[in-house]
Amino acid sequence: MEGPGIPLVKSDGYYARYVSTDHLIEEDKITMSSGMKSPQIKQHLGHRLRRRKELIGKRSMVVDLSFILSITGVVIIVIDTELQFAGIVSPLDAISITMRAITTVTSVLLVLSVVAYNLIGIQLKIVSAGLDNWQLVITYSTVLKMIAEAIVCFFHPFPFGDIKIPMTVVEFEAERAEFNTRYVPLNSILAILMFLRLYILGRFLVVHSDLFKDTTVQSLGTLSKVNINAQFVFKALMTTRPGTCLSAILVTTLLINSWSLRVCEYHTNPADGKDHYAQALWLTAVTFLTLGYGDVTPQSICGRVIAIQTGLMGVGIMALCVAVLARKLEQTRPERYVHTFVQQIHMDKLKRHAAADVVKQSFIVWRLRKRGYALNHRYILRHRRKLLDAIRKMNQSHLIKSHLRECAIGTVEVSKGVGEVNDIVTSLKEENLHVNQRLENLEKLVTNIHFQLYEMKEMLRASSKNN
């Protein structure tokens, strides 16, 4: 998904001057009234900014329409399926046909809105790059993405008829698995596939996210070469509100997968339809949490596929939950610094007490030896054990304190290190000044010696002339 903060760059290297939007609107009116197209208008940066702003607004409206159509179709099909399971209506009743016809209309409109969304995206690329031909920005991946979205959004039950397809069902008799064939309505499978269109919910949340709409965030992303897209918004939400995001994903996955599993398993044994949803919810929860009790198992191939997909999603989401919980339980830097500081104080106190015990036990052993007790006497052995224990505690506290000092780097340590560096720099400056003074003194002394030698030379020359 393209963000509104992508810089406007022309491919030919020409940097167009900025023209106000109001002036461009007047030029557009004059050009349109005269029936002439001005190719120079497209060269203005202001025109491109205004055009892109309009396209972004249209894209938001298209996304809103797609979201409403997708949710409406899913809700109508769920209601129709539940009414059929309850025996209130049959697939050939007028009410059921009408509801499925409405779903067909919403699906067609949804496909058109998805195509319009992709076309607007292509126009945004053209305006952002300053090009004049759509063939320069469209690629095979864009076309394949548009076709795949159209196919996914077109999945819906047929409004007329009750087509049934064969499906393999695993039945256990006398501790032996037997593979039988049951005929399942095709509309039930298509109703399950309709949940694939809920990816539009993520697009809806991204388009209406403050991070995506904020021009400041878009500008910072452009300067930092960061693409503000759905992945960026999801990471930001997982950082700011991880519990809410994971809870929403968890509940949505359990409800959708349990209902889909119920639809798959309902046609294998319709007589037990009244308690299928509870069993499906229990099976989905057990599979999602990777417990696998085995008391309830899916019998249809469709149900087993959904169970596999549920297990894969459960592994990923549980890993995210563990990561978020570990990050929440981890101490922040101020908390870690306070805890380390308290431990250092405790180690200092323990070291002092151990040192006092060393002195105390050493004095007691010395006094007992003075009284004539042997080294293997029980009194001396007891105090020697206490002496060794005190020495061990003192060494251990010193080791732990040194380890804490190495691991904990807080503001106090940083300021202390900066102070020590400042003291070293100050002392070096003072020594440098002292050395410079001594050099100046040496220079003066050498100059004086030079003058004295010159005077002695002159005196010797004068005395030699007199002689």
Residue where a domain stops, chosen among 240, 261, 296: 240
pLDDT of residue 373: 86
Residue 378 belongs to a domain: yes
Residue 40 has pLDDT above 50, yes or no: no
Residue 145 sits in the same domain as residue 215: no
381 lies in a domain? Answer: yes
Helix (H) or strand (E) holding 350: helix 333-370
Q: What is the mean pLDDT of residues 213-237?
A: 74
The alpha carbon torsion through 246, 250, 256, 261 (nearest 10 deg) reads: 150
Length of the chain: 467
| pTM for this predicted structure | 0.66
Highest mean pLDDT among 116-120, 326-330, 366-370, 377-381: 116-120
Q: Which of 126, 146, 161 is the last residue of a domain?
A: 161
Residue that terminates a domain, selected from 240, 255, 281 = 240
Q: Is residue 461 part of a domain?
A: no
Summary mean pLDDT of the chain = 81
Are the beta carbons of 117 and 204 closer than 8 angstroms? Answer: no
Claim to verify: residue 235 and residue 148 sit in the same structural domain: no
Residue 337 shares a structural domain with residue 433: yes
| Number of other CB atoms surrounding residue 54 within 10 Å | 13
pLDDT at 461 over 60: yes
Same-domain pairing of 66 and 142: yes
444 lies in the same domain as 350: yes
Same domain flag for 430 and 344: yes
Q: Which of 210, 184, 453, 466 is nearest to 299 (CA)?
A: 184
pLDDT reading at 367 higher than 80: yes
C-alpha distances out from residue 403 to 344, 350, 407, Å: 10, 15, 6
Q: How much helix, strand and coil, in percent to the nearest 5, is found in the chain?
A: 75, 5, 20
**Is 140 in the same domain as 235?**
no
Q: Are 8 and 45 in contact (CB under 8 A)?
A: yes
Nearest residue to 188 via CA among 164, 222, 209, 168: 164
Residue 19 is predicted with a pLDDT of: 41
Confirm if 153 and 114 have CB atoms less than 8 A apart: yes
Asked if 218 contacts 3 with a C-beta cutoff of 8 angstroms, the reply is: yes
Rounded Cα distance, 160 and 154, in Å: 16
* Percentage of residues in the chain having pLDDT higher than 70: 85
DSSP at 130: T
pLDDT for the residue 195: 93
User: Is residue 214 in a domain?
Assistant: yes
β partners of residue 170: 179
224 found inside a domain: yes
Give the pLDDT confidence of 229-268 residue by residue, as tens digits.
778 888 888 888 888 888 888 899 999 999 998 888 887 7
Q: Which amino acid type is present at position 102?
A: I
Mean pLDDT of 367-396: 88
Domain contains 297: no
φ, ψ of residue 170 to 5 degrees: the values are -95, 120
The contacts of residue 395 (CB under 8 Å, 6+ apart) are: none
Residues 142 and 227 in one domain: no
95 — pLDDT class (breaks 50, 70, 90): very high
Answer yes or no: do 232 and 151 share one domain: no
Q: Which of 280, 226, 293 is nearest to 254 (CA)?
A: 280
Quick one: 218 and 133 in the same domain? no
Number of Cβ within a 10 Å radius of residue 69 = 24
In this predicted structure, what is the pLDDT of residue 379?
A: 86
Write down the pLDDT at residue 330. 80
Phi, psi values for residue 251, rounded to 5°: -65, -45
pLDDT band for 408, please (50, 70, 90 cuts): low
pLDDT confidence bin for 409, thresholds 50/70/90: low
pLDDT band with cut points at 50, 70 and 90 for residue 20: very low
Distance CA 104, CA 98 (A): 10
157 and 231 in a common domain? no
* Contact assessment for residue 84 and residue 132, using Cβ atoms and an 8 Å cutoff: no
Q: Is residue 19 part of a domain?
A: no
Of 42, 53, 36, the closest CA to residue 19 belongs to: 42
**Mean pLDDT computed over 421-436:** 90
302-355 confidence digits (pLDDT tens): 888 999 999 999 998 888 888 888 888 887 777 777 878 888 888 889 889 989
Which residue range is the domain that position 419 belongs to?
333-452
| Domain annotation covers residue 271 | no
CA–CA dist 449, 124 (Å, integer): 86
| Between residues 190 and 11, the one the model is more confident about | 190
Residue 412: band (very low, low, confident or very high) from pLDDT cuts 50, 70, 90: low
Amino acid 9: pLDDT: 44
Q: How many domains does the chain have?
A: 3
